[in-house]
Amino acid sequence: MSATTHNLTYRSGANGARTVTWQEISPWQLDNKYIISGYRPERSDYLEIFTSLTFLHNETCNVYTHLIGAIILPLVATIFMRYMAEPHFFNVSSMDYTTFGLYFWCAEICLVLSALYHLMQAHSQPIEQFWHRGDLLGIVIVTMGTFASAVYYMFFCEPSLQRLHWVIVSPSGRLIMTTGTLTGLLMSKPSLQTPPLRKVRVGAFVVFGASSFIPLLHGVQRYGLDYMLQYSGMRWYLLELTFYGTGVILYAFRIPERLLLGQFDVSTISLPPRQPHEAMSVRFHKVKYNKLIRQNITY
């Protein structure tokens, strides 16, 4: 796009247009060629950015799904923690609370960073890149939180194995820490934030997520598949990974907007179909905790 496009964007905003088409935005704003309208003009005024919460544009669903989730999640966590304190959970330890809190703090960080990223996208290219890195960092954080809590319940009766995976002594721990660190570094490079390298970013997350299967395989090898499915929460963990993975696939291949051009510009774009998958992943994590606490209090 030429400089004329940038000037047109400015005139559109100056004339009061709240949203514009892809032909009227700055080149750096075009992240998804299948979204053709509903863009906010580039604005360096934070007040105008926050004002965009009051009208519909092609980031509205992204902002509000994350923002509402970030508001609701602490309430859900508080209710569940009080539920854990009920008398019939007589053997709940401080480690259960710590593990529970860790995951939900990680999820909260992810939701807040994502909400801010989608809200700030129209500010300027440097600000967009800054919050984009924050968004990707949030995904790495929640993945690590999921892994840490999963290890606690997978090896509930063997603290030594928990520590082996947590302190990055075992091969799986080294791999997860390595892939997590590399993913974080990869996401922090501005040169890799461009749309053509989207699949590189997705690939990094896939490798990072796949490394978390190693503790599962370790558990199956040590305890057997039936035990892992019945008592370690493996089935819920696999459901979490399935929903996360489905969201990543939808994002990478721009589904559904590439199938019905122009039909998902404002009502939803490639990230919102991922939001129910993220929400269901949190739900499965909560259900998994509930069942595991009920089972593990007998130890």
CATH code, domain carrying 148: 1.20.1070
Report in angstroms the alpha-carbon separations of 196 from 31, 117, 199, 284.
Answer: 9, 19, 8, 33
15 found inside a domain:
no
177 found inside a domain:
yes
Q: Is 224 left (phi over 0), alpha (psi -120 to 50) or beta?
A: left
Task: Find the helix or strand (DSSP H, E) in which 245 lies.
Answer: helix 234-252
pTM of the model: 0.80
* CA pair distance 151, 64, nearest whole angstrom: 32
Given this model, what pLDDT does residue 7 score? Answer: 39
13 found inside a domain:
no
47 found inside a domain:
no
DSSP secondary structure of 20-48? B-GGGS-GGG---TT--S-BPPP---HHH
Label residues 191-214 b or e (16+ Cβ within 10 Å = b): ebbeeeebeebeebbbebbebbeb
220 token code pair: 């199956």
The residue segments making up the domain with residue 236 are 55-296
Total domains, the chain:
1
Given this model, what pLDDT does residue 293 score? Answer: 59
25 found inside a domain:
no
Given this model, what pLDDT does residue 9 score? Answer: 37
Q: What angle do CA 22, 25, 27 make, to 5 degrees?
A: 95
45 found inside a domain:
no
Residue 88 CA to its chain's centroid (Å)? 34
Q: What angle do CA 59, 62, 67 make, to 5 degrees?
A: 120
95 found inside a domain:
yes
Task: Provide φ and ψ at 20, rounded to 5°.
Answer: -135, 175
**Nearest partner of 124 among 9, 211, 44, judged by Cα:** 44
255 found inside a domain:
yes
The single residue listed with the structure tokens 């247009």 is 17
57 is an annotated ligand-binding site residue: no
Report in angstroms the alpha-carbon separations of 76 from 70, 72, 90, 110, 117.
Answer: 10, 6, 21, 16, 24
pLDDT in tens, the chain (299 residues): 433 333 333 334 545 679 999 999 999 999 888 999 999 999 999 999 999 999 999 999 999 999 999 999 999 899 888 888 887 777 788 888 898 898 899 999 999 999 999 999 999 999 998 998 888 888 888 878 888 888 888 888 888 888 877 764 334 444 455 555 566 666 556 666 666 666 676 677 677 777 777 788 889 999 999 988 887 778 877 877 777 778 778 877 888 888 888 888 886 544 444 444 455 455 555 555 555 655 554 44
* CA pair distance 299, 296, nearest whole angstrom: 6
